[in-house]
Chain A
């Protein structure tokens, strides 16, 4: 069964450092997402990406965040200068519907736990 894979599973970084979280979406999917879950809180939308550009982003996704699809398979989230409050589980997701309609399933990766110290 196809799956979304994320690496690393856990990353510890010092405050102010740059981190890159990596995701390999399902190969024929067209929409890609990052979500964030601060410990004990709900899953929050960060950004959606389609056709090599951001289609929507939340207010959480400020200038410190960026996404990229550097090749045909990877989808990355970069945090330029991490803050303590960036500590969270970050989930990548992908969806196959070409129109981004929500009547198809978004497949989630296992997540990357980011700890900023």
Chain B
């Protein structure tokens, strides 16, 4: 069955530090992969998406993610975190016409 795993429930980083949020998926075919961000009390905003082609994709707010088929991973990265990046981050895989989400990673940023 299709599934998405985000092994880190909660991550804390200092402002200016680099960030990597992990995502692993289980999917039989070539996946469509997404990262969404949810700020407190807000909806889901798309950060970036991967469909095909270049395995390193750039998104909004300085985020990027790399698709690694051999590891079934789609980790999200940012070289320098800002305090405004504190939020919940969800990885998702597109299956038929719907999204299957991971459990999310809560990012806390200290000044």
In the complex, whether B17 has a CB less than 8 A from a CB of chain A is no
Contact across chains for B103 and A48 when beta carbons are under 8 A apart: no
Give residues of chain B (58-108) contacting chain A, Cβ–Cβ below 8 Å. Answer: 90, 92, 94-104
B interface size (C-beta, 8 A): 23
Interchain Cβ contacts within 8 Å, total number: 61
Contact across chains for B42 and A110 when beta carbons are under 8 A apart: yes
CB closest chain-B residue, reference A92 = B43
| Cross-chain contact of A108 among B43, B49, B96, B102 (Cβ < 8 A) | B43
Helix, strand, loop or mixed for chain A's interface? Answer: strand
| Cross-chain contact of B99 among A4, A106, A109, A110 (Cβ < 8 A) | A106
Contact across chains for B104 and A42 when beta carbons are under 8 A apart: yes
In the complex, whether B51 has a CB less than 8 A from a CB of chain A is yes
Contact across chains for A103 and B94 when beta carbons are under 8 A apart: yes
Contact across chains for B44 and A108 when beta carbons are under 8 A apart: yes
Contact across chains for B103 and A95 when beta carbons are under 8 A apart: no
Contacts of A108 in B (CB 8 A): 36, 43-45
In the complex, whether B46 has a CB less than 8 A from a CB of chain A is yes
What is the minimal beta-carbon distance from A60 to any residue of chain B, in angstroms?
12
* Known contacts A42-B104, A44-B101, A105 near B96 by CB under 8 Å: no
Contact across chains for B104 and A105 when beta carbons are under 8 A apart: no
What is the minimal beta-carbon distance from A110 to any residue of chain B, in angstroms?
4
CB closest chain-B residue, reference A44 = B101
Contact across chains for B103 and A42 when beta carbons are under 8 A apart: yes
Contact across chains for A42 and B90 when beta carbons are under 8 A apart: yes
CB closest chain-B residue, reference A106 = B99
Nearest 10 Cβ contacts at the A-B interface: A102-B94, A100-B97, A108-B44, A110-B43, A102-B32, A103-B51, A43-B101, A42-B103, A108-B43, A45-B98
Return 22 A-B CB contacts under 8 Å, by A number.
A33-B98, A35-B101, A43-B90, A43-B92, A43-B99, A44-B101, A45-B100, A48-B97, A50-B97, A56-B98, A91-B43, A91-B44, A93-B44, A100-B97, A103-B51, A103-B94, A105-B46, A105-B49, A108-B36, A108-B43, A108-B44, A108-B45
